[in-house]
Structure 1
Amino acid sequence: MTLWWARRDLRLADNPALLEALGDGPASAVFAWTPALHFWSGRRRAHLARVLWSLREDTGGALAVRRGPAHEVILTAARETGSRIVWASSEHSPAGAREQEAVRAALEADGRELRLIGSPYAVAPGRVTKSDGTEYKVFTPFSHAWRDHGWRAPAPAADASSLRALDSDVSLDSQAAHGDAEDLLAQTHEFRESRVLEDLRAFVEGDLARYAAERDRPDLDTTSHLSVPLAFGQLHPRTILAATARVRSDSARVFESELAWREFHADVLHHHPTAQRESLSAVLPDDAWITGRDADESFRAWRLGETGFPLVDAGMRQLAATGTMHNRVRMVVASLLVKDLHLPWQRGADHFRRTLLDYDHAQNQLNWQWVAGTGRDAAPFFRIFNPETQAKRFDPERRYAQRWIPELDTPGYPSPIVDHQAEREASLAALKRNKPPQTRH
């Protein structure tokens, strides 16, 4: 008897850990509903509950969902089923790595074994290195090496009919209801694996052809909408890459590069775990950030979508209503927070962690560092997005802004809370102050 520990791989298709568990004979499956999940937003917990409910249906009711720390849940399930081996997908985030080591230690102390196979990435973090074995610090050479390294073809879908059921002690219906009550989404998201795979096929056969030309246009809405199933592990990057590989177009290669960014950020966090909270490089002096009541008032206006900059406000309202935001708009709202409102990137990253349905730890933290100019291969700090110019370029007819701001063009919509040009100059002056004086020889 073996046990599959379901983690960020909540699917039957292309799931090596589940296939290994089933290949060893009779197997059972369990997901640990850990205390850490209660630090998630209600919307993420509600969606997770629905994803687990769907996976339980796909396994004929065999998947157990049990409450408690992972090492206790997995050890208890292994004892209950007589499993000497537990199969799981490897995690590389600091919290995920700590969790799996705690599970490993608990199992080994009881004469059992944790075996890890696969990860949520096409190429596991730490695998892509320079010829001397060191990490890449710049995205473009990383992406070339990542493609050269390559990845395995998707594994076949698992036949879960032979899984043996375990009892659950978590009501997924209740968790979904409680999560909805905390953070109700105005727009629900697909949570069935079969529909996710259909969405992938539809995108590859349809909007992918226009991706390179239209990916920065929130008003056209022709992106893949696959970030949520990717975040919950209902879809593996290999599955996406196998589908796009059959398309010979620049758009397909551009789309694949976005997956490469996801893997680059995971690699950076793998090598630098402190980057989840600390800037990899300091670009401004400490006194450049505003504090106190002014900081709180600025943050509140930004959070509520009441800054007076339509593209920013539309993005923040889209986030509040749907749990997602167009990627171009994410960059603009982040730039405004850091470089116009002079608030540290960690404050914005924390808000995204609480509100994003497609939250991915490495992606979120390192994307914020990219905008703030503090991360690996980041946009230089002096590259400051002008929210009005960005709106004219990427939402020229203001359809995106009008969709999310009903009071736009009425007296009820506020004027900009800051003068962008003045704040840009203040940020550049702070940047200049932080540079060490050059020594003449």
Structure 2
Amino acid sequence: MTRLWWARRDLRLDDNPALLSAQEDGPAAAIFAWTPALHFWSGRRRAHLARVLWSLREGTGGALAVRRASAADAVLGAARAADASVVWAAQEYTPSGVREQHEVAAALEADGRELQMIGSPYAVAPGRVRKGDGTPYRVFTPFRGAWREHGWRSPAGPADPESFVHLDPDPSDVDLDQIAAHGDAEDPLESPHEFREARVRESLEEFVDGDISAYVDERDRPDLDSTSHLSSALAFGLVHPRTVLALTGAVDHSAARTFESELSWREFHADTLWHEPQALRESLSTVVRDEDWATGPGADAAFVAWREGRTGFPLVDAGMRQLASTGWMHNRVRMVVASFLVKDLHLPWQRGADHFRRALLDYDHSQNQLNWQWVAGTGRDASPYFRVFNPDTQLSKFDPHRRYVQRWVPELDTPEYPAPIVDHKAERETALALNRRAKGREGR
């Protein structure tokens, strides 16, 4: 009897416990559900997913079936076609992922089949790292220490690319090439991101062997190419963080420890969302009263200027244009543009998070929402609300030669470049006053 691997956010052959479990007793079938939820993704993310699946399908000798249906219908149909009594999958921890796996498990159980879950998209699954009293960590630094102390398994090794069987009949009904072409036309990028697992691994090894030595000093410099560019690969499951940590753990250099610390933020945010699922849309703490956020035509015009990179603040505009063009933005700049939206334009973080969800190729539920809450001062262990990034100071410090802003804002220093749409000093004072008002209301 064949076993079935349900591919989710683990679209790779290496270090994939669910796939290895499916292949444990012989060849396995493989299914990916192209669910209705994917139609709400941006064109660029759908195009990239299609390319990732195309590459994975090629790696399985064409055995990966991609079916347009709900996850429950796709997995149940594939299990019946494969005569599989057991389906193996990696466990998800986001609210939508949890709902989906409950639905799949119920459909399989009603048909006399079973869903077995092993592994996750994290080095340490959310909920595992807890304080001595059993409660979750609410502050990052002690979480990171406990996360390191907890540790993680070694990489699980590669699956056998020859140990797959084709479903008969093949339930694939998704034209991946067509989806990629349509996504590109609808939502074009300057160039596609890497979608091949082998090339991601090569780039990772090159980074660890070389550029990671400069990571401590240069990771905040958007004008320098000193980051790993792993975010999209992690978001789509082309590489597991455990694989990354195994490579960095072999490097005796402070930069490797710094890089691991940054990776642990991803795990902290996932853990926070697991315990606080409402954080997808709701602030975990109040920093401004609901009625004090900017609304109306003026607020909408300011949002459009921010989204299009026409604020008159070079670092903000460069970041937003980089995002629009490439689907990616340097992390330091992400913090600056987010702070500008919330604390200079006085718009709620959810508006910015929604735009990032549409524009980012590396969009990840917990990472995006909790990073926005960190900047807004509303999350767990958030940056305090009174910390307001000055876009001009940040530019001088982190793009001292102005190479980054000149790359993305070619009309800079010409009459075509707009004047600043706000007075940063004045808006900072307004933001702090709104925060004080919110605290006063909470104190009554």
C-alpha separation in 1, matches of 2:426 and 2:325: 32
What is the CA distance between 1:270 and its match in structure 2?
A: 0.1
Alignment of 1:100-249 (within 5 A): 100-166=101-167, 167=170, 168-249=172-253
Letter in 1 for 2:274: H
Letter in 2 for 1:258: E
Counterpart position of 1:270: 274
Structure 2-normalised TM-score? Answer: 0.98
C-alpha separation in 1, matches of 2:176 and 2:330: 29
What is the CA distance between 1:215 and its match in structure 2?
A: 0.3
C-alpha separation in 2, matches of 1:103 and 1:182: 32
Letter in 2 for 1:267: D
Counterpart position of 2:21: 20
What is the CA distance between 1:406 and its match in structure 2?
A: 1.2
Uncovered stretches (5+) of structure 1, i.e. residues with no partner: none
* Greater CA drift, 387-396 or 182-191: 182-191
- CA displacement 1:257-307 (0-9 Å, x = unmatched): 111000000000000100000000001122321101011100000000000
The percentage of counterpart residues that share the same residue type is 71
C-alpha separation in 2, matches of 1:427 and 1:406: 31
C-alpha separation in 1, matches of 2:161 and 2:84: 17
Letter in 2 for 1:312: V
C-alpha separation in 1, matches of 2:307 and 2:441: 37
Counterpart position of 1:352: 356
Letter in 2 for 1:95: S
SS at 2:121 equivalent: coil
What is the CA distance between 1:435 and its match in structure 2?
A: 1.5
Alignment of 1:223-372 (within 5 A): 223-372=227-376
What is the CA distance between 1:25 and its match in structure 2?
A: 2.4
C-alpha separation in 2, matches of 1:46 and 1:287: 39
User: Alignment length, in residue pairs?
Assistant: 440
Letter in 2 for 1:252: A
SS at 2:440 equivalent: coil
What is the CA distance between 1:61 and its match in structure 2?
A: 0.7
SS at 2:144 equivalent: helix
Counterpart position of 2:391: 387
What is the CA distance between 1:187 and its match in structure 2?
A: 2.0
C-alpha separation in 1, matches of 2:260 and 2:6: 29
C-alpha separation in 2, matches of 1:189 and 1:432: 44
Q: Do the aligned partners of residues 438 and 6 (structure 1) sit closer, same or farther apart at CA in structure 2, a change above 3 Å counting?
A: closer
Letter in 1 for 2:390: N
C-alpha separation in 2, matches of 1:180 and 1:223: 26
What is the CA distance between 1:407 and its match in structure 2?
A: 0.7
SS at 2:162 equivalent: helix
What is the CA distance between 1:249 and its match in structure 2?
A: 1.2
SS at 1:240 equivalent: helix
Q: Do the aligned partners of residues 395 and 111 (structure 1) sit closer, same or farther apart at CA in structure 2, a change above 3 Å counting?
A: same
Uncovered stretches (5+) of structure 2, i.e. residues with no partner: none
Counterpart position of 1:8: 9
Counterpart position of 1:99: 100
Q: Structure 1 stretches (4+) deviating beyond 4 angstroms?
A: none
C-alpha separation in 2, matches of 1:315 and 1:207: 23
Counterpart position of 2:37: 36
- CA displacement 1:165-200 (0-9 Å, x = unmatched): 132110100010111111000122111111000000
- CA displacement 1:49-97 (0-9 Å, x = unmatched): 0000000111111111110000000001101110000000000000000
C-alpha separation in 1, matches of 2:332 and 2:314: 14
C-alpha separation in 1, matches of 2:441 and 2:284: 21
Q: Do the aligned partners of residues 79 and 432 (structure 1) sit closer, same or farther apart at CA in structure 2, a change above 3 Å counting?
A: same
Counterpart position of 1:418: 422
C-alpha separation in 2, matches of 1:162 and 1:429: 63
C-alpha separation in 2, matches of 1:286 and 1:139: 27
SS at 1:436 equivalent: helix
Counterpart position of 1:62: 63
What is the CA distance between 1:438 and its match in structure 2?
A: 10
C-alpha separation in 2, matches of 1:360 and 1:40: 12
Counterpart position of 1:87: 88
Q: Do the aligned partners of residues 293 and 437 (structure 1) sit closer, same or farther apart at CA in structure 2, a change above 3 Å counting?
A: closer
C-alpha separation in 2, matches of 1:178 and 1:106: 32
SS at 1:161 equivalent: coil
C-alpha separation in 1, matches of 2:55 and 2:437: 55
SS at 1:50 equivalent: helix
C-alpha separation in 1, matches of 2:199 and 2:224: 22
